[in-house]
Amino acid sequence: MGFEINGKTYETDEEGYLVNLAEWDEDAAKHLAIEEKVEMTPAHWEVINFLREYYNDYQIAPAVRVLTKAIGKKLGPEKGNSKYLYELFPYGPAKQACKIAGLPKPTGCI
């Protein structure tokens, strides 16, 4: 499974998540966002970039609280809440934003 953009192929798992994190680039993110019916805005990119930075440091996506706090600091306190994140990523910030960011799907009782 996978997709191809400008001659570059990206492998995905059965749920559409990138298999190889290192393959991720902005083109892949845009493609994954279209599949998720998410229209990317600068606010979406803030979230995606933060997720990737955090993953780089901790090998896991940030907890929702960690994410909301970071977004609140960057975009203003009125946006530092999970309601705002759900507006950006309606299927849930953890799973949907991780997919677009090229991170593995968070698992567990979430």
Q: Which residues are annotated as catalytic?
A: 109
Residue 23 or 92: the one with the smaller Cβ distance to other proteins is 92
Q: What pairs with residue 3 in β-bridges?
A: 10
Task: Give how many residues touch other proteins by CB under 8 A.
Answer: 25
Q: Which is nearer to other proteins, 27 or 91 (CB)?
A: 91
* Ranges within 13-72 binding other proteins (CB under 8 A): 14-15, 37, 58-60, 62-66, 69
- The reply to whether 108 sits near other proteins by the rule CB under 8 A is yes
- Residue 96 has, within 13 A of its CA and on its CB side, a CA count of 18
Minimum CB separation of residue 109 from other proteins in Å reads 4
CB count in 10 Å sphere of residue 1: 10
Stretch that binds other proteins, among 1-9, 20-28, 45-53, 88-96 (CB under 8 A): 88-96
d(CA 70, CA 22): 24
Which residues, at least 6 apart from 81, have a Cβ–Cβ distance to it below 8 Å? 68, 72
CA dist 2 and 55 (Å) reads 22
Residues within the interface to other proteins (CB under 8 A): 14-15, 37, 58-60, 62-66, 69, 82-83, 86, 90-92, 94-95, 106-110
